[in-house]
Amino acid sequence: MSRRKYPFYAGASKVESGICEACGNGAAWAVTIQVSWFRGDDDMFLLCEPDRRMAMDKQWKDFYTKIKTQRRLKREAGLTKAQP
């Protein structure tokens, strides 16, 4: 078992295009956040620079609230299927 505190900002890689999953603007980064010590139990998001900084600064409550709000807005607009 790991001694790390979770969630943990695992890293980011540059992307050419995409939409930020937190605010809907253009995405520049694919960010991986480890949520537990189990292999493959990670969250991956396309993010713009300000939202990547929020994840790097470990502002988890605000970060995940933005993600959930954006997903709800997309669902209400009929752009995605509802999650169970």
8-23 residue pLDDT tens: 899 999 999 999 999 9
Question: What distance, in Å, lies between the first and last C-alpha atoms of the chain?
Answer: 30
How far is residue 14's CA from residue 28's CA, in Å, rounded to a whole number? 6
Q: Enter the pTM of the model.
A: 0.79
How far is residue 49's CA from residue 11's CA, in Å, rounded to a whole number? 13
Strand-by-strand arrangement of the 42-47 sheet: 8-14, 29-34, 42-47
Structure tokens at 12: 């980011």
Rounded CA Rg of the chain: 13
Sign of CA dihedral 14, 15, 16, 19: negative
Question: Letter for the amino acid at 55?
Answer: A
11-54 residue pLDDT tens: 999 999 999 999 989 999 999 999 888 888 899 999 999 999 99
